[in-house]
């Protein structure tokens, strides 16, 4: 199973947790946001031309706070 669920699967998991009052709502919300972000990134990457090395480095810098577990702008 992939680390990031599909948007549909993540949304369904959130709905079940909300419906039954499970304590994992924050994790389910995080999973849904990660799934939406992954879907958006996949759509953009599928249609965009390859970035230059400088652009790729800047894009990697933008994702670094996420990879390190920090919030962007913090």
pTM of the model: 0.75
- Residue 49 included in any domain: yes
CA distances from 9 to 2, 17, 31 (A): 12, 12, 10
Classified as helix, coil or strand, 2 is coil
Structural domains counted in the chain: 1
- Residue 1 included in any domain: no
* Contact residues for 73 (Cβ-Cβ < 8 A; gap 6+): 65
Per residue in 20-71, pLDDT (tens digit) is 999 999 999 999 999 999 999 999 999 999 999 999 999 988 888 776 766 5
Q: In this structure, what token pair is assigned to residue 26?
A: 């924050």
CA distances from 41 to 16, 19, 25, 37, 48 (A): 26, 30, 24, 6, 10
What is the mean pLDDT of the segment spanning 5-24? 96
For residue 1, is pLDDT > 80? no
- Residue 50 included in any domain: yes
- Residue 21 included in any domain: yes
Range of the domain at 20: 7-67
For residue 74, is pLDDT > 50? no
């Amino acid at each position: 199973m992939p680390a990031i669920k599909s948007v549909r699967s993540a949304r369904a998991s959130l709905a079940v947790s909300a419906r039954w009052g499970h304590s994992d709502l924050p994790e389910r919300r995080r999973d849904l946001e990660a799934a939406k972000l992954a879907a958006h990134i996949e759509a953009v990457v599928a249609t965009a031309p390859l970035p230059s090395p400088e652009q790729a480095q800047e894009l990697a810098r933008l994702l670094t706070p996420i990879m390190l577990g920090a919030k962007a702008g913090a």
